[in-house]
């Protein structure tokens, strides 16, 4: 391809170019000169102009709002909430075992073929009456065992039972474990929401950057076709221009697909329709770097990470099971009381009411070492839980240190990406001038344009990558305050 300056310098030297061709080539050459500047302006516009659906709201404020929305609406977290309510009910059940239980029991039976006690007593009483010479004893007794009816109130109340104390402690530990699991899921959800939003924002900005170059390459194809039609360039110029435009279109389509997938994933986390719009913003708060004192962050993580609280609840649960196993070596004492009426028919008077009160002691003295074996199992379980706590502590320390290193590297990469973008922009400006003066070929111009676009995309990716590393550090160091 030739530019306008080389075209008219050849015309002056050779004096063989038709004036009509020269006037046709003049506007085409001016369009070529405008292409590099249009590309630079398009890249600058992609980096600064807000996109549709973009908000001027600070990114951190927007992310906090989306996190709160997801915590309220996320279905997986709702399941964790239901599990926590179930564990709370388990604690209430364990507490209720210490209270007396009262029940009404009633029975009325029709008998056939049962023994009537009167058949044995009536002849005896008749003989006594005959000996005494008077009817002192009844001879018409009708009594069966069991009685035809029995109605009573039963009361049961434990006075001492070591297993109940262990069961209550186990229920509380289970509740705390479920609560810690829920908070862990909540913290992970907060991080996932932010990471997912960053993926949407990253893809959106990448689409904007690539779309801004489409008019430039479309114009390049149109100018190349006119130059070929005018006989001022060979057909390979058009082919290269079209190939460059097709490659860019492929990148745009892939990036749009990635943006759509990221949007659906983000909406899934907050339980919204898959195609619900997502507000995008980009500001300096994404790059705000808090104090990164390693010791302070590690200490904060060890105090506030829910995984450690869950591991501690596991230790408490093992202790409770150990207490239940040890209670088998202690006696159990309970109180039982009953009051009601019984007989062949219902009679509510002092002659037919029955009352019973009992204190029951039970003590298992020997059962083949089963209780001792259960206690040994509970002791081993507690040791496992304590080792898991130590393992969790070491894992959290490692996670915090790795996240800190990732943030530091991402910050360095951000600076390198900015330098790369600035260098690519300056290189493109130089090629632009050479291209306008006829000292650079179309291949050099397109290569510089591609490098400039790649540098712009890399800066976008690095920008949001740094924010993603900050989100990961926020999660592993437990910097976000979660609602309870």
Could you read off the pLDDT tens digit of each residue along the chain, which spans 484 residues? 333 333 333 333 333 333 333 333 333 343 344 444 444 454 444 444 444 455 567 888 899 999 999 999 999 999 999 999 999 999 999 999 999 999 999 988 887 777 778 888 888 888 888 888 888 888 888 777 777 888 999 999 999 999 999 999 999 999 999 999 999 999 999 999 999 999 999 999 999 989 988 887 888 788 788 888 888 778 888 898 899 899 999 999 999 999 999 999 999 999 999 999 999 887 777 777 667 789 999 999 999 999 999 999 999 999 999 999 988 889 999 999 999 988 877 777 777 788 999 999 998 888 878 888 988 999 999 999 999 999 999 999 999 999 999 999 999 999 899 999 999 989 988 987 887 677 878 788 888 888 988 999 999 999 999 999 999 999 999 999 988 7
Q: For residue 334, what are its two tokens?
A: 């309970």
Which residues, listed in sequence order, are joined to residue 343 by a DSSP beta bridge?
A: 149
284-289 contact pairs (CB < 8 A, 24+)? 285/58, 285/59, 285/60, 285/61, 286/59, 286/60, 286/463, 286/464, 286/466, 286/467, 286/470, 287/414, 287/463, 287/466, 287/467, 288/60, 289/407, 289/411, 289/470
Rounded distance, CA 367 to CA 373, Å? 11
**326: number of Cβ within 10 Å:** 18
Query: Nearest to residue 385, comparing CAs of 332, 443, 315, 281?
Result: 315
Query: Nearest to residue 462, comparing CAs of 426, 417, 423?
Result: 417
Radius of gyration of the chain (CA): 43
Q: What is the dihedral of CA 225, 227, 229, 235, to 10 degrees?
A: -60
Query: Nearest to residue 220, comparing CAs of 6, 416, 477, 450?
Result: 450
Look at residue 51 in the predicted model and tell me its pLDDT. 44
Rounded distance, CA 307 to CA 390, Å? 11
Cα 354-357-362 angle, rounded to 5 deg: 140
Look at residue 192 in the predicted model and tell me its pLDDT. 95
Look at residue 5 in the predicted model and tell me its pLDDT. 34
Cα 154-158-161 angle, rounded to 5 deg: 150
**97: number of Cβ within 10 Å:** 15
Map the chain to HEC letters. Answer: CCCHHHHHHHHHHHCCCCHHHHHHHHHHHHHHHHHHHHHHHHHHHHHHCCCCCECCCCHHHHHHHHHHHHHHHCHHHHHHHHHHHHHHHHHHHHHHCCCCEEEEEEEECCCCCCCECHHHHHHHHHHHHHHHCCCCCCCCCCCECCCCEEEEEEEEEEEECHHHHHHHHHHHHHHHHHHHHHHHHHHHHHHHHHHHHHHHHHHHHHHHHHHHHHHHHHHHHHHHHHHHHCCCCCHHHHHHHHHHHHHHHHHHHHHHHHHHHHHHHHHHHCCCCCCCCCCECCCHHHHCCCCCCHHHHHHHHHHHCHHHHHHHHHHHHHHHHHHHHHHHHCCEEEEEEEEEEEECCCCCCCCCEEEEEEEEEECCCCCCCHHHHHHHHHHHHHHHHHHHHHHHHHHHHHHHHHHHHHHHHHHHHHHHHHHHHHHHHHHHHHHHHHHHCCCCCHHHHHHHHHHHHHHHHHHHHHHHHHHHHHHHHHHHCCCCCCCC
Look at residue 117 in the predicted model and tell me its pLDDT. 80
Look at residue 53 in the predicted model and tell me its pLDDT. 53
Does residue 475 contact residue 458 with C-beta atoms inside 8 Å?
no
Q: Give 81: exposed, middle or buried? Use CB within 10 Å, 0-12, 13-18, 19+.
A: middle
Look at residue 9 in the predicted model and tell me its pLDDT. 34
Does residue 129 contact residue 136 with C-beta atoms inside 8 Å?
yes
How many angstroms separate the most distant Cα atoms in the chain? Answer: 168
Rounded distance, CA 326 to CA 375, Å? 6
Does residue 182 contact residue 81 with C-beta atoms inside 8 Å?
yes
Look at residue 48 in the predicted model and tell me its pLDDT. 43
Considering the domain 4-109+162-332+369-476 in this protein, what is its CATH number? 1.20.1600.10
**180: number of Cβ within 10 Å:** 21
């Amino acid at each position: 391809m030739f530019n306008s300056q080389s075209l008219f310098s050849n015309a002056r030297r050779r004096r063989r170019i038709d004036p009509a061709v020269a006037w046709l080539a003049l506007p085409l050459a001016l369009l070529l000169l405008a292409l590099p500047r249009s590309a630079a302006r398009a890249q600058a516009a992609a980096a600064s102009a807000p996109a549709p659906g973009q908000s001027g709201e600070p990114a951190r404020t927007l992310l906090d709002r989306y996190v709160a929305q997801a915590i309220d609406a996320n279905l997986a977290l709702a399941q964790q909430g239901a599990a926590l309510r179930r564990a709370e009910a388990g604690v209430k059940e364990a507490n209720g075992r210490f209270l007396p239980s009262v029940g009404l029991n009633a029975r009325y039976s029709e008998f056939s073929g049962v023994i009537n006690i009167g058949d044995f007593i009536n002849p005896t009483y008749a003989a006594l009456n005959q000996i005494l010479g008077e009817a002192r004893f009844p001879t018409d007794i009708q009594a069966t065992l069991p009685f035809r009816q029995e109605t009573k109130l039963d009361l049961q109340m434990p006075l001492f039972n070591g297993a109940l104390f262990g069961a209550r402690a186990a229920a509380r530990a289970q509740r705390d474990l479920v609560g810690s699991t829920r908070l862990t899921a909540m913290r992970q959800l907060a991080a996932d929401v932010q990471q997912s939003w960053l993926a949407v924002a990253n893809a959106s900005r990448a689409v904007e950057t690539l779309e801004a170059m489409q008019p430039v390459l479309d114009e390049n194809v149109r100018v190349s076709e006119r130059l070929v039609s005018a006989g001022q360039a060979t057909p390979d110029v058009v082919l290269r221009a079209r190939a460059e435009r097709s490659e860019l279109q492929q990148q745009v389509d892939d990036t749009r697909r990635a943006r759509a997938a990221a949007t659906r994933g983000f909406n899934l986390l907050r339980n919204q329709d898959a195609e619900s719009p997502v507000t995008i913003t980009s500001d300096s708060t994404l790059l705000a770097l808090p104090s990164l004192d390693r010791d302070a962050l590690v200490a904060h993580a060890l105090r506030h990470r829910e995984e450690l609280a869950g591991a501690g609840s596991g230790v408490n649960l093992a202790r409770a099971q150990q207490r239940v196993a040890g209670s088998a070596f202690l006696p159990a004492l309970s109180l039982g009381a009953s009051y009601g009426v019984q007989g062949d028919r219902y009679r509510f008077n002092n002659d037919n009411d029955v009352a019973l009160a009992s204190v029951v002691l039970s003590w298992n003295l020997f059962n083949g070492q089963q209780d001792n074996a259960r206690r040994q199992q509970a002791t081993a379980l507690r040791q496992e839980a304590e080792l898991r706590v130590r393992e969790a502590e070491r894992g959290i320390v490692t996670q915090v240190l790795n996240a800190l290193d990732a943030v530091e590297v991402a910050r360095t990469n951000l600076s390198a990406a900015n330098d790369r973008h600035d260098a690519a922009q300056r290189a493109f400006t130089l090629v632009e001038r050479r291209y306008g003066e006829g000292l650079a070929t179309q291949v050099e111009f397109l290569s510089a344009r591609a490098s400039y676009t790649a540098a712009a995309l890399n800066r976008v990716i690095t920008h949001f990558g740094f924010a993603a590393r900050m989100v990961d550090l926020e999660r592993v160091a437990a910097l976000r305050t979660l609602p309870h």
